Amino acid sequence: MRLAAGLLELRARSLGNGQAIRHVSKWAPWEDHYTQLAVRERMRSRAAYKLAQMQKSTGMLGRRSFVLDLGAAPGGWTLAAKRFVDTDPSTSWDSKAEASREGTSAGYGKIVAIDLLRVEEIPGVTFIQQDLLDAAAVEQKIKNLLRHRQHFDVVLSDMAPSTTGDKQRDHFKIIRLVESALQIAISFLPPSGGAFLAKIFRGSEERDFLDKLRRSFTKVKTIKPQASRKQANEIYVYCEGRKQ
């Protein structure tokens, strides 16, 4: 079944050209609908459609949102976010320029993407190459970038470790990653506001991690988007309203 036209039809020509998805995992035969769609529409990964579906149900991304995309490589979610956020295509985020033209740039949102791996450039997106497990270094680079702004509106994390096939071991590894993402989100989301969306693998620490999220946010729910394969062990946690 094809995605609905408009909101979920993420076409490369409207998002900016990017490297199309290049390979298919053992869980993604060529007949997989979203893999085919990603190839046809030159999206960087099929994960773009997961974010689009979760945007439809949450409305977390606005036209002028300031968005932090953690674990962005190869840029699938970054491209998808650009479908919903109006960024200035002529420039990345220069904090000095932002301060001087605050009035005239008010119509634009911002997207900052971070990953240890290099991400192919996307017009209007600022990239930081940094190991996300080093939360202190990440936070310092973000602070250096922000300068004249204290918060992001949305923090996204689709990062995951290299899987081993051992579900419990992979679960432990992704929880460590997402705890680092959570620390960053708490540092840069506004008090009593903002949204945090992250991927986790189901497992024994899931309940404790959800409890940790509930201590940090006023609203927490889990989401399994249609584009997420049924056999995949992943779910997404969506949080709103950072507690002070």
Annotated catalytic residues are 199
- Helix then strand then coil, in percent of the chain rounded to 5, is 35, 20, 50
Task: Write the CA distances from 85 to 60, 64, 100, 180, 224, integer angstroms.
Answer: 10, 6, 22, 25, 23
Residue 106 tokens read as: 């008010």
The answer to whether the CB of 138 falls within 8 A of the CB of 130 is: yes
For residue 197, give the H/E element and its range. Answer: strand 195-201
The answer to whether the CB of 15 falls within 8 A of the CB of 83 is: yes
Residue 34 tokens read as: 């979203």
The partner residues of 221 in beta bridges, in order of sequence, read 238
Task: Write the CA distances from 87 to 59, 95, 114, 212, 236, integer angstroms.
Answer: 17, 14, 17, 33, 25
